Chain A
């Protein structure tokens, strides 16, 4: 049915309005509620919404023209609908319009009075304000019934009654504890809010963003959980005096640089040292199955590399057989590949032992989870200068903490300790790596 749109009354004092701009042309479709015209009242310009959906068939009042409130300004109708004869419609509508307009005006006046009395102020009795405050109700949501558009206590109580939510006792308890507004939980009328609804809400509230558990994240999640489930971890820690390693590295840096064009890092030295220690402790270089512990011939050292969205462990194969320069070069290449996601399966498979180093994050010591099916992992902390006692003298030494996580199914404490002790000896006297 065709809708004859009239100049709306947009304020108590508004008697006429000027069309500032039609935001739609004749023939354009409009949705009910869509902003489609800008109207100037005696005070302000207001964008008005379409009161019906259809086609803006006819613009009666042109831009810049002024008409009285209630006069037709446009017709919204179906595309093929015959438009009503405006003259007749106006005559018929006039009488009716008078009536409905006066009722409307009264209503509007009441609301307008409430809202416009003092800009930004809502007229409400102190009692209404108190109840609203206590029940955390926004007074602008409450319909006034008091004289002069005043919100009185009964209005707030009526609002509360209307918006009363039904909830199970447990749900109510949770709501209070977690400070959830039960009113914000949408439920079909008559249906009670349950514990489950609140739990859902709690979960929703905690979410900032979601990250799908797929790909690398899924692999990390599964393998870490699996390792902790199947492998009873024991943790062994000790401190290593890194003085000689530091000294060695200083001296080797230029050599390695000239040989392989790579800067020698502590990780490179650690890989070599660990490989050397593993050779002395073959039980640590193993994997565990239900039937047997497999001792590995090759010493392939994995190095955990943090990526933006996870971590990966490229493997330096036969590290015990390689010199520091080669280890440094290979490691650097693998890390580069890892960071650009160019690692091939062969680059990260076949590891027999893993090193993970968080020293660059100032971590002093930590316990790592074993990278199954390996049986141990070495967690490396930051090198920190500390006062230590050497020959009954307190002296400052660069100390580094090592924590070995062992799968107790395969490795007993003493076995792991022996390895760690050997590693300490190697690092404190790096010439051991040459033996």
Chain B
């Protein structure tokens, strides 16, 4: 397949972390010769995601799902391997983060939107939509510290979804927020689906994954154990967990 039809291409991606038992310090580095403990969070991942594909990533805790998402979003870089991304990525990761408590909702929209890679003009153009969707109403010009965590989440989601991404990364985000807003988010995401956007969805909710994704990758100890049609992979994962009695 030619590369321009791909949204994401990961070739031989590995990611090494150094395990810290305490805060890393300079003094410790100079005076101690303790061998550093290393963990390979991802090992030799090869993954091609086509434009418009909805792919789910499942696996146990510590299997490397979040690390994979971090690498795709560019928050961190792989230790070895190559990554190619076509299009703008938006992550529905840590939605409540990246707001300044002293600034108002409006000021925070600009700041947060630019952080996600939107230009000032883009934000201005979508400013009304962002506020309307968040449902914050008159709270929009009050300082952010007065917001409840639900309000913060709504604003975060609204900004991310209005950044007009080609690729959407979702990390367990649907589980939070009230029912009404949850439905609104779902609607918005389905809209994104229809527009042929690419989605990478990390979740423990196998049902949600099965509903949303046509393809699923199962991670195990940093490697792709299985990849293919949602139903088959999820079933296999489900029975594996049943038989190993890990929950």
Do they bind each other?
no
* Contact surface of B with A, Cβ cutoff 8 Å: none
Seen from chain A, the residues whose Cβ lies within 8 Å of a Cβ on chain B are none
